[in-house]
Structure 1
Amino acid sequence: MKKPEIKTLLEKYYKGETNLEEEGILIEYFSGKNIDSEFISDKEFFTFLIKERENQSSIEDLSEPIWKNIEEYENHNKYKSLKNKTLYRITLAIAASLIIAMVSVSIFKHELFTKKNQIQFTDTYNNPELAYIEAKKALLFVSEKLNKGTNHIENLNSFEKGTKDLKLIENFDKGLNELKPVKSIEVVNKYIKNK
């Protein structure tokens, strides 16, 4: 190979503009014996690169065991955190129900003992039909207010539709997990090519 071509390729290489084919030409040139004295320092560099590539190809690929350990660690942590969350929620629910029960009992006792003889039920209407009409009005009013309050809940249906779309992403994740064996095939092919 001619000196100007090597010089041009070296300039491109040091700028990071070479492709694999051009790098292969440089490695081939510097692994030979007829090297111009101007390129001696470059020869040392490329000799180092060649040795490092050989060392790298002899190093065992640890990516699969590392991924396996990461997955085991994540699964262990998920189980542990899920167990802790469940225990925490149960404890909170029991504590809250005990507090509500104690407050209710104390209020009931207070009302019972302080107003023992004061409880008297009296009719507010003398006419039962008028009382029925007023009760009906009050119940309709309450029903109307409750219906207005539940109208806002209809927006949750659109939220639920969005979460259904997210289940498609779950299927995509399953597909990616099925591609993991392809990674091990690539590692085997790498070993076969090196031998």
Structure 2
Amino acid sequence: MEWNKMEGLLEKYFEGDTNVDEENALRHYFLSDDVPPHLEQYKAIFGYFAKAKKENLTSNAVDSQLFLSKKRLALWLPVAASVVVMLGVGGYFYFGSTNEKQDLGTYQSPEVALKETQKALAMLSTHVNTGIESVMYIKEYEHSKGLIFKKQ
């Protein structure tokens, strides 16, 4: 009948309502050999935690990998910076070297300028309203997420 108690603890565990003692009891139970067949699938979960606890990383291996990555970064950082500078200078000369006068959308008649301004503002308003509708979807998502995942 101990497996009935463990099933109740499993439900609490997956809901996130167990305490440390209950989780230790689950771990000890699933590491034992007398687990019923319908609960065998959970042995892998608690077996993983036991295996991960036994693993020890050596600090030398981590430090040497970190050193190698910093060394590689130190080698590639100047190369990347020079490429960015070259692209910036090249882009300036390619796109900024035209001396043609550009039409800035100036109008001689105030009535035409007013109509064009109203048309531009109406287009802007349409796009802003579309963006606001997207924000409403995000708010609904946040509300649903709050219902599913309880904040502690």
Band of TM-score, shorter chain: 0.3 to 0.5
Greater Rg over alpha carbons, structure: 1
TM-score (norm 1): 0.31
